[in-house]
Amino acid sequence: MLKWKKGCSALLIFVLMVSITSGSQLAEGGAVKSGTSTKTNETTRAGTVTANPLYVHETYAETSRVIGSLPQGVTAYIMNSYQGWHKITFNNGTGWVYGAYLKNIHAVNSPSSSVPSSSATGSSSSSGSSAPTSSGAASTSRSSATSSKPAAKLPASALPSKITAGYYANWSAHSGFTPDKIKASMINVVHYAFADIDANLKIAVNDPSVDYANFRKLTALKKKHPRLKTLITIGGWDGSARFSDAALTDARRKAFAKSCVAFIKEYGFDGVDIDWEYPVSGGAAGRAADKTNFTLLMRALRSALNAQAATDGKYYYLTFAGGSSDSYTRNVQLSQLASCVDYAVDMTYDMHGPWDTYSDLNAPLYTPTDSSPQYKASVVSSLQAWQNAGFPAKKLVMGLPFYGYLYNGVSAENNGLYSRFTSAKAIGYDSIVSNYLSKGLLSSFYPSEAKVPTLSGGSTFISYDDVSSIALKAQYSASHGLKGVAAWELSYDRNNTLLSAAYNNLH
């Protein structure tokens, strides 16, 4: 989360629900043409296409060639199913589609003869047309195709239209803030930060001294608050070094996804949250292929979670946290990612911090127009950049910082803003209140355009968020059709002052 130190990572109260059936999917190999699916003697079931469009693949693999597409709302006729994919009739041949994007699957009566499509414009497929059986062997007979069991209908997401989410940092347990102290009546989703990726490129606990006890307390908290959902967050600023390797190949992606499903089943989580900081560049060492591989990794996770949902009848959530910079929107495929996640958190904080040359604002709501010696950024400009890149507002969660940055050695000019400094560090909201606001040691200054407060006095400058700025941000999220807000992180606001402001102004 925070750019410079994991122990200072900022908590995100996460808003959790993104329908996996909306948006577009990853298309490989350029533009594809729309086609049709028709009922034949071999078709046993039919389903309604929910993706727009639904890409048809040559075989049952996310990396296989796309041979065409079906528009949203049409009927696709199913011949067989394998590993979360459906073999369908497509044009004058067959193709494979990802099972999550067909809904209302039902049995159909086979006609007396095949009815070829006269209006299809996509190419037909001959390779991969033999459907694998459950053992993995190819099936060429109609009897093996028609004897396959109907695909299980996925359960529905249970999240409300607007959510307030919060990141729980596992290290806060060492200072006494354990999961049972979370104000669950004001939170829809708790993101548990963090889990790691081990040397075998599988998910692993981060701090065994607290994690297992924390997991049990989260489970107990959910029993008291049945609508609360919990996600395991993997990565973070200090834990992203192995993401690029884990996402590099199809086999590695599937193995990683499989390990994540096993982890959430064992420890009682409701889904997975990926905090890769960052694909391609900007954080841990990456590669150019991360841009595509991140999408493929998320699709592998979605497939594995859906397969588990079909087995036990429980919906599993998939989310990710992304950066607020322009480079982030260039380095990931936001429009493609939207189709396989429930929502994503735009980490709209750390716009500036100790890594800069001058003191500045951590998370201004709007971009200031005053003169500054360094780059300008804001919450609104980042949210707009995500949407311009194809990520829908209804799945977009605004990150809220429950912390600020304290700069030492600043000049008194301009109330300490845009000044060179000698040192700086993150500081939680509770510490700002107890050490500065309650003692009246610093003067308040509220840049009118940015809509966030600052404190200054002598050689000290603090940029942070208070009740008023958090309320304004929650109001913006509600009025602009966003999914909600997510706070980093809950232990910085143990009296729930900021959390209450977020909740009361979002709902």
Residue 58 catalytic? no
Task: Give the CA count within 13 Å in the CB-facing half-sphere of 198.
Answer: 10
Task: Give the CA count within 13 Å in the CB-facing half-sphere of 181.
Answer: 16
Q: Give dist(CA 427, CA 445) in Å, integer.
A: 18
Q: Give dist(CA 174, CA 170) in Å, integer.
A: 8
Catalytic residue among 62, 277, 449, 489: 277
Q: Which residues, including other chains, have CB under 8 Å from residue 408's CB and lie 6 or more apart?
A: 421, 422, 423, 424, 459, 460
Q: Give dist(CA 10, CA 54) in Å, integer.
A: 37
Q: Are 472 and 503 in contact (CB under 8 A)?
A: no
Beta carbons within 10 angstroms of residue 393's beta carbon: 14
Beta carbons within 10 angstroms of residue 371's beta carbon: 7
Nearest to 301 by CA among 322, 278, 276, 272: 272
Q: Are 354 and 424 in contact (CB under 8 A)?
A: yes
Secondary structure letter of residue 458 according to DSSP: T
Q: Are 350 and 2 in contact (CB under 8 A)?
A: yes
Determine which helix (DSSP H) or strand (DSSP E) holds 55, and give its type and residue range. strand 54-57
Q: Residue 19 carries which side chain, given as an amino acid letter?
A: S
Q: What is the dihedral of CA 121, 123, 128, 133, to 10 degrees?
A: 0
Q: What is the dihedral of CA 411, 414, 418, 419, to 10 degrees?
A: -10
Catalytic site positions: 277
